[in-house]
Amino acid sequence: MADLEKFRAETRAWLEENCPPDMRKPMRGEEDICWGGKRWKFQSEAQKIWLERMAARGWTVPTWPKEYGGGGLSKEEAKILKEEMRRIKARSPLESFGIWMLGPALLEYGAHEQKAHFLPPIARGEIRWCQGYSEPNAGSDLASLQCRCEDRGDHWLVNGQKIWTSYADESDWIFVLVRTDREAPKHLGISFILIDMESPGVTTRPIRLISGKSPFCETFFDDVKVPKEHAPGVSAVVGELNRGWDVAKYLLTHEREMIGAGGSGAIGGAASPGEVAARLVGVDETGRLADPILRGRIAEAEIDGWAFLLTMERLKDEAKAGKGMGAKSSMLKYYGTEFNKRRYELMMDAAGSDGLEWEGERSEDGKLARSWLRTKANSIEGGTSEVQLNIIAKRILELPDA
């Protein structure tokens, strides 16, 4: 404990000294995130310095091993770092799919050479990664993916299409699920491969959503040659050939927990539908929301939202007490995303015609309407609600297969 307190004191001092004042201002939105990568244009000198200083200590990825560019911190230390950063409202120095997804996958499934080659540039924000999982005809049935990867001796030849490749148009590399054995049963025969986006034959096209512009892209692979080794001893394939499904599943579970938690993260925030509605709709002479039926629906939703937050807290506490979360992450994903959709429906109800504006300053270019529409994807991306319910039915309730 004394060690941890010492660590806290040192961390606090270091942060105080090294975190530029501009990096202590709250982010205004997604545009203030530092994503890194070859083509990254720093928003400010402060953003650049902050990244460099944090990366130098390995604190962009505090729990990764030091040899791979991480901070080598224990869970407890990482928690202290987070707390201390929050204390001074320090922004995150770097976010990326490399940190969230590829890193964990490599740490779990990668060979030492792969980790040594790929992880440090992620930690330093030099290489920006995106992911290539979904395909137009795969969707929830991800294992039916068709993107072909053929063995051509010294290289792999990749042909096919990926969809929902977030930020593919701004990324340097992509990790892709490809079919390397077309004869095998569908969950087998899939591999997890790393591809340089600058390879000839890779093209990408942004997808416009019903909510407007989005980070999502379609990415096409047209006779793309991928070297078997990106550097001596650094295989392009992560994990065993044809066993990429294991890696994918690992990351999907990871992602589900993130989305489940994230999708509901805002629930506890300041913008409760009740408060929003009281402001937008007004209250009557008894102090109750002027729209009594909306009021009832909001109160019922707040009860569910609150109980859901407590359930997240409980599961976290249970996990600390050594009980794994397992398939319960599907519950968080399912309930959290469905709740978030409901929350935005209520906010739209409260906002009325003001909330329907799509352009212009008054509505901040339709901020609420666009957010509302965007939530509709919550229960689709990262495993649909239907898939989560299937998982709960099968794995938790152990109901029989159809």
Partner 1 sequence: MPLVLTEEQEMLRDAARGFLEAKAPVSALRKLRDARDEVGFSRDLWKEMAEMGWAGVLVEEAFGGSDFGFAGAGVLAEEMGRTLTASPFLSTSILAATALKKYACEAHRQEYLPKIAAGDLVMALAVDEKNKHAPAKTALRAEKSGNAFRLSGEKTFVADGHVADKLIVAARTAGAPGEEAGITLFLVDAQAKGVARERTIMVDSRNAARVRFDGVEATGDDVVGEIDGGWRALEGVLNAGRAGLAAEMSGSAQRAFEMTVGYLKERTQFGRPIGAFQALQHRAAHLYCELELARSAALKALQVLDESFEAAGAFCSLAKAKAGAVARLASQEAIQMHGGIGMTDEHDIGLYMKRIRVAQEMFGDPAFHADRIARLRGY
Report the catalytic residues. Answer: 255
Dist CA 76 CA 57 (whole Å):
17
Indicate which single residue of 17, 154, 361, 401 sits in contact with partner 1 (rule: CB under 8 A): 401
Indicate which single residue of 10, 300, 313, 318 sits in contact with a copy of itself (rule: CB under 8 A): 300
Q: Tell me, what amino acid is at 58?
A: G
Closest among 62, 59, 80, 75 to 9, alpha carbons compared: 80
> DSSP string of 250-269?
HHHHHHHHHHHHHHHHGGGS
Asked whether 118 and 102 are in contact (CB, 8 A), the reply is yes
Dist CA 38 CA 69 (whole Å):
18
Q: Which is nearer to a copy of itself, 234 or 348 (CB)?
A: 348
Indicate which single residue of 270, 293, 321, 397 sits in contact with a copy of itself (rule: CB under 8 A): 293
243 DSSP β-pair partners: 190
Closest among 238, 258, 234, 255 to 246, alpha carbons compared: 238
Residue showing tokens 């937008």: 280
Indicate which single residue of 292, 322, 360, 400 sits in contact with a copy of itself (rule: CB under 8 A): 292
Indicate which single residue of 5, 13, 140, 231 sits in contact with partner 1 (rule: CB under 8 A): 140
- Tally the C-alpha atoms within 13 A of residue 162's C-alpha that lie toward its C-beta: 29
Min dist. Cβ of residue 185 to a copy of itself (A): 21
Segment near a copy of itself (CB under 8 A); pick from 33-41, 271-279, 295-303, 308-316: 295-303
Q: Which is nearer to partner 1, 195 or 289 (CB)?
A: 289
Q: Which is nearer to a copy of itself, 293 or 321 (CB)?
A: 293
Dist CA 246 CA 240 (whole Å):
9
Footprint of partner 1 on 211-230 (CB under 8 A)? 212
324 binds partner 1 (CB under 8 A): no
Dist CA 288 CA 303 (whole Å):
17
Dist CA 198 CA 195 (whole Å):
9
The CA dihedral of 105, 397, 139, 218, to the nearest 10 degrees, is -40
Binding mask 264-293 for partner 1 (x = CB under 8 A): --------x-xx-xx-xx-x---xxx-xxx
Indicate which single residue of 114, 294, 343, 383 sits in contact with partner 1 (rule: CB under 8 A): 294
Indicate which single residue of 66, 82, 288, 314 sits in contact with a copy of itself (rule: CB under 8 A): 288
Min dist. Cβ of residue 186 to partner 1 (A): 9
| Residue 268 binds which of a copy of itself, partner 1, none (CB < 5-8 A, kind-dependent) | none
321 binds a copy of itself (CB under 8 A): no
Q: How many residues bind partner 1 (CB under 8 A)?
A: 91
Instruction: List the beta strands (DSSP E) in 173-216.
Output: 173-179, 190-196, 202-206
Burial class (CB in 10 A: 0-12, 13-18, 19+), 152: exposed
Min dist. Cβ of residue 389 to a copy of itself (A): 16
107 binds partner 1 (CB under 8 A): no
Residue showing tokens 């294992």: 143
Where do the H-state alpha helices sit in 124-266?
244-265
| Residue 54 binds which of partner 1, a copy of itself, none (CB < 5-8 A, kind-dependent) | none
| Residue 207 binds which of partner 1, a copy of itself, none (CB < 5-8 A, kind-dependent) | partner 1
Residues in contact with a copy of itself by CB under 8 A are 288, 292-293, 295-297, 299-300, 402
